[in-house]
Amino acid sequence: MCQNGHVCELADFAAVQGVDGPLVSRLHPVPTMTTMTGQPGQIEETVPAAPPLFVRRSGGWDHRRVSVMMLPVVPALFLVFLVQIMESAAPGSRVPIRSLTNFGAVEIADGNALRERASGRRGVYTRQESRAIEVARFLHMLNPDFPETDLRRLSALLVRLGEHYRCDPSLVVAVIMTESSFDPRSRSHMGALGLMQILPKTGESLAVETQRRWSGEHTLFDPYLNISLGVRYLAKLQKRFGTLELALTAYNYGPSRVEAWLRRGDELPMDYAQRVLARYRQFRRLASISSL
């Protein structure tokens, strides 16, 4: 009898889903409690108490239910295993190199050896980040007074453009040094503007191709936009003429003029291309030293 005088209503122990009452009774003795019927004479009656929460069958755990519960775990473990394999197999995906923090002084002895006095911390970077830091070191060697913020941004841009257009950042730097000596406000007597000396008409056409905003010729004074358009232009010329030498000649003299020279069989002026390629070879050596 409950405290309020009513008969306790207890769940039927044999109603546990999927479990027979007699089988459970044999495996787990059913606890009982004595209640009063509430009838005259107060006859005592024994009823089963509340069943246990978990009931195990005589043969052990239900393996079918366990298998169903484990189904979502199997693909999750397989996915984690696959990701680990892909990350470990990616070439250069994690390359430990020294960061630019506390970069320190860099000295080049006879152009062949590099000595660094740096206390930079070690870190783990992606392949693109590692390449960007190598380019930043190379730019720092060319100009130690280069602001670090611009250094990082420019090196990251050169790496992205290099991967997209398959153009070596050292080649881009060689063109910039030949064209403007890294003066973003440079203007030639022919009206070419910016770091890579792009004519406004050519720059506007390239901006439309790349869906960049064009606000007149002064847009080319943006150094990062100028480099983006210049690298695209050089890549298009190399695809059009087939060789880097002809592409550089067309970059300087204009593609229409170079095509006319080729049709007539005239000897091409290669002085500009030779100057750029000489700088390119020099910068490649310095870049290889900076990656040590």
Average of per-residue pLDDT across 204-217: 94
Average of per-residue pLDDT across 125-142: 86
Whether 66 maps to a domain, the answer reads no
Is the model's pLDDT at 13 over the cut of 60?
no
Top-confidence residue, 236 or 6 = 236
Note whether 45 and 188 are same-domain residues.
Answer: no
Top-confidence residue, 191 or 28 = 191
Q: How far is CA 152 from CA 131, 138, 155, in A?
A: 11, 11, 5
* Residue 162: per-residue pLDDT: 93
Q: What is the mean pLDDT of the chain?
A: 74
* Residue 60: per-residue pLDDT: 56
Whether 257 maps to a domain, the answer reads yes
Is the model's pLDDT at 32 over the cut of 90?
no
Note whether 26 and 154 are same-domain residues.
Answer: no
Note whether 274 and 184 are same-domain residues.
Answer: yes
Question: What angle do the packed helices 244-253 and 223-241 form, to 10 degrees?
Answer: 120
Average of per-residue pLDDT across 171-177: 96
* Residue 227: per-residue pLDDT: 96
d(CA 106, CA 254): 39
How many domains, the chain? Answer: 2
Whether 253 maps to a domain, the answer reads yes
For 238-290, what is each residue's pLDDT tens digit? 999 999 999 999 999 999 999 999 999 999 999 999 999 999 999 998 888 86
**What is the pairing mode between strands 95-98 and 105-109?**
unpaired
Note whether 31 and 112 are same-domain residues.
Answer: no
Structural domain for 28, as ranges: 1-56
Residue 85 DSSP SS3: helix
Note whether 270 and 147 are same-domain residues.
Answer: yes
Note whether 161 and 261 are same-domain residues.
Answer: yes
Top-confidence residue, 68 or 270 = 270
Whether 186 maps to a domain, the answer reads yes
Whether 78 maps to a domain, the answer reads no
Note whether 136 and 252 are same-domain residues.
Answer: yes
Note whether 157 and 259 are same-domain residues.
Answer: yes
Token couple for 273:
């291309």
Is the model's pLDDT at 24 over the cut of 90?
no
Note whether 252 and 107 are same-domain residues.
Answer: yes
* Residue 177: per-residue pLDDT: 94
For 97-128, what is each residue's pLDDT tens digit? 333 333 333 333 333 333 333 334 445 678 88
Note whether 140 and 36 are same-domain residues.
Answer: no
Whether 82 maps to a domain, the answer reads no
Note whether 104 and 221 are same-domain residues.
Answer: yes
Whether 280 maps to a domain, the answer reads yes
Model pTM above 0.75: no
Note whether 44 and 157 are same-domain residues.
Answer: no
Whether 63 maps to a domain, the answer reads no
* Domain end point (choices 10, 37, 56): 56
Kindly report the CATH number assigned to the domain that includes residue 122: 1.10.530.10
Confidence of residue 82 (pLDDT cuts 50, 70, 90): confident
Beta carbons of 168 and 185 less than 8 angstroms apart: no
DSSP string, 7-32: PP----GGGSTT--HHHHHHHSPPPE
Confidence of residue 19 (pLDDT cuts 50, 70, 90): very low
**For the chain, what is the largest distance between any 2 Cα atoms, rounded to a whole number of angstroms?**
129
* Residue 142: per-residue pLDDT: 86
Beta carbons of 257 and 272 less than 8 angstroms apart: no
Confidence of residue 62 (pLDDT cuts 50, 70, 90): low
Beta carbons of 206 and 229 less than 8 angstroms apart: yes
d(CA 207, CA 246): 23
d(CA 290, CA 136): 9
Mean pLDDT check: name the lowest of 58-72, 175-189, 197-211, 271-285.
58-72
